[in-house]
A and B are shown apart, each in its own frame.
Chain A
Amino acid sequence: MANTPAGTRQAREPSLNLLVRLGERLTSERFFGTALIAPMQLLLWFLLIIPTFIVIYLSVVAWEPRMGVEWWNAPFAFLSNYTKVLQDGRFWAAIARSVGIVVVAVGLEFLLGLGMALFFSRQLPGKRLMTSVILYPMMLPWVVVGLCFYLLFLDRGPVNYLLTQLLGPLAAVEWFKSPPLAIGTIVLGDIWQWTPFLFLILYSGLGALPKDPVEAALNLGANRWQIFRYVTLPMLRPVILIALVIRGLEAFKIFDLIFVMTGGGPGTATETISLYIYRAGFLFGQLSYAAAMAVLILLMITLITRYAIRPLEQK
């Protein structure tokens, strides 16, 4: 589009110095704006748009690397991958597990984060240093958190040691061998790492609230619970929603922590949907099947976010 006016001008004034024209083009506002976003758009095409088309294509063909054909020559399977996925109990179990982890972990992170935010919103000596200590876990790489919690819950690790000291020698538990306990350690790891995130958002949200309504309620004789329940909490609602949506979407993707701590086991006890896609695609070599699951997940998340964002838009 930007080419046409420059092209006609060139035809009219052939004597114009090429460098001058180039300089003009580079400084014209329209071209400048387009040039500025061009690198990012290239990157988006390369890493988001083209892969999306490829994953959709892969999901409607029947292709596995061991077939010995290139994927673009694979026979069409149309929707058969999808019908197989939808009848796959393991797929639904993995989804249920992911959703369960989101609900439990994010719910607890929210309650703990809110409690901590309220706790630290009052005067306290050394508060700045303490809050930066609390925020540190969320900066840590997943593998480090995974290693931390793996070591803590080893059979002869510190957690079992504390349990035996507190409750007697029979209290030690083989954490990674029982399905519910293995999920429990993962949820605990997630809570440890991400409560700081909710704390950060809620704490800064609390700090930004106007002081007048609270004082007015105090003057009217409200007690602290009433002020929290009927004044602070409603004012904090938009912040809470944003925090829960961001964190919930992140938690649904959970992969690394489980990958490091249990690898999805024992059996499939800690297999979330991300892990199942990984196993199907990379361990079992069922690329088309994994692609169909990936497309279904992409659709699901798109739908969910559309509804999740709605309450954020009506402020």
Chain B
Amino acid sequence: MKENGILTRGGSALRWVAALAICALFLLPILWVLSISLKPPDEWLAYPPRLVPAQTTLNNYVLLFRKGNPVGGISEMVSSAEPVTPAFLNSLLIVPIATLASLIIGFLASYGITRFQAGGASLPLFVLTTRMFPPVAFAVPLLVYFRALGLIDTQLALILMYTGFTIAFSLWMMRGFIEGVPRHVEEAAILDGASPWRVLFTITLPLIAPAVAAGWMLAFTLSLDDLVVASFTTGPGATTLPIRIYSEVRLGVKPEINAVCTIMIAVVAGALVVASLLAKFGAGSRARRAQTGGA
């Protein structure tokens, strides 16, 4: 298969072009959203549509956070009277707290399950059922139940539910890694007089950093993503970004909504970078430990 020559070189160039085409297919829809978010009013509905705007403006982003501003003077294209700031801040508050809670609870539980077989052998599979069923099926009981508890339209309701809906990923992601941590490392620390809780957070947790990073990424995107749960438990008090976007998508081309989506696309990209840095940092510290420990 390794003949050299024009034929194979031409073939590999062709394959490279094909690979670039595949990447373009996955990138272009995102670029289209970005493109509209940068267009001035007279270009939004221009036909033929242009991927690269003739003029670019950041005005759509500025308008997002300002109250009741008509955009460009086209009457039916008046921007939403409410700025997205509250929804943005809500998402910014709810998603990180839920993600953190999911990771901590998931870490403790996966440690209890792998090291002490707590909760029985079927518990991990049982947790997975939270991901199997359509969220809408739980929406019905949660609606009446949260209303009875006075949790409707609160941030706490969303934090609780996002923690619950992402716990399966946190648990399963970390379980495999904890199994991989050699017991003698933990036992050595206990013999040196450390308490189990201390061992948990200073020895085990740093060793499974890549799993924490992957779990963080998943829980973060899933919580940021949610439309179903938020749409039935929230009102004006706890609107999130996806709800705001949903309420305006089908009203036509709205560059401000594209601007919000572009921000979300960037947030996801940022989360990816943070996750890969976390994983790298964890892998680095593990390598150092292995070197100094001489294992």
Q: Which residues of A approach B to under 8 Å, CB–CB?
A: 26-27, 29-30, 32-37, 39-41, 43-44, 46-48, 50-52, 54-55, 58, 71, 116, 119-120, 122, 124-127, 130, 133-134, 136-137, 139-152, 154, 156-158, 161, 192, 196, 249, 252-253, 255-256, 259-260, 263, 273-275, 277-278, 281-282, 287, 290-291, 294-295, 297-298, 301-302, 305
A166 to B116, CA, bound (A): 64
A154 touches B253 (CB 8 A): yes
A150 touches B250 (CB 8 A): yes
Chain A, residue nearest B272 (CB): A139
Question: Which residues of B197-242 are within 8 A (CB) of A?
Answer: 197, 217, 221, 224-225, 227-228, 231-232, 241-242
A139 to B30, CA, bound (A): 12
- Take A44-B127, A47-B164, A252-B134 as given contacts and tell me if A143 and B16 are in contact as well, using a CB distance cutoff of 8 Å: no
Interface contacts beyond A35-B112, A144-B245, A158-B49: sample of 17 additional A-B pairs, CB < 8 Å, sorted by A: A34-B118, A37-B108, A37-B118, A43-B163, A55-B141, A126-B16, A137-B30, A141-B221, A141-B268, A154-B253, A161-B47, A161-B49, A192-B25, A253-B133, A281-B139, A281-B140, A294-B140
B249 contacts the other chain (CB 8 A): yes
Question: Which residues of B115-157 are within 8 A (CB) of A?
Answer: 115-119, 123, 126-127, 129-130, 132-145
Question: Shortest CB–CB separation between residue B164 and chain A, in angstroms?
Answer: 4
A116 to B25, CA, bound (A): 13
A-B contact pairs, 9 of them (CB 8 A): A30-B116, A34-B118, A58-B140, A133-B23, A140-B30, A143-B227, A143-B242, A256-B227, A281-B139
A260 to B217, CA, bound (A): 24
B113 touches A37 (CB 8 A): yes
B45 touches A156 (CB 8 A): yes
A37 touches B109 (CB 8 A): yes
B139 touches A137 (CB 8 A): no
Residues in A whose Cβ lies below 8 Å from that of B139:
277-278, 281-282
A298 to B123, CA, bound (A): 19
Residues in B whose Cβ lies below 8 Å from that of A119:
15, 18-19, 22
Question: Shortest CB–CB separation between residue A312 and chain B, in angstroms?
Answer: 12
A51 touches B142 (CB 8 A): yes
Q: Tell me the total A-B contact number using a CB cutoff of 8 A.
A: 258
A51 to B137, CA, bound (A): 10
Interface mask (B28-62 → A, CB under 8 Å = 1, otherwise 0): 01101100100000000101110100000000000
A37 touches B112 (CB 8 A): yes
A151 touches B227 (CB 8 A): no
Q: Which applies to chain B's interface (DSSP): helix, strand, loop or mixed?
A: helix
Q: How many residues of B contact A (CB 8 A)?
A: 87
A156 to B253, CA, bound (A): 11
Which one, A124, A249, A298, contacts B137 given CB within 8 A? A298
A178 to B111, CA, bound (A): 53
Residues in A whose Cβ lies below 8 Å from that of B141:
50-52, 54-55, 58, 291, 294
Chain B, residue nearest A148 (CB): B29
Chain A, residue nearest B245 (CB): A143
A137 to B265, CA, bound (A): 9
Chain B, residue nearest A280 (CB): B140
Residues in B whose Cβ lies below 8 Å from that of A41:
119
Residues in A whose Cβ lies below 8 Å from that of B119:
37, 41
A121 to B164, CA, bound (A): 37
A71 to B143, CA, bound (A): 11
- Take A40-B106, A44-B127, A282-B232 as given contacts and tell me if A305 and B132 are in contact as well, using a CB distance cutoff of 8 Å: yes
A139 touches B132 (CB 8 A): no
Question: Shortest CB–CB separation between residue B106 and chain A, in angstroms?
Answer: 7
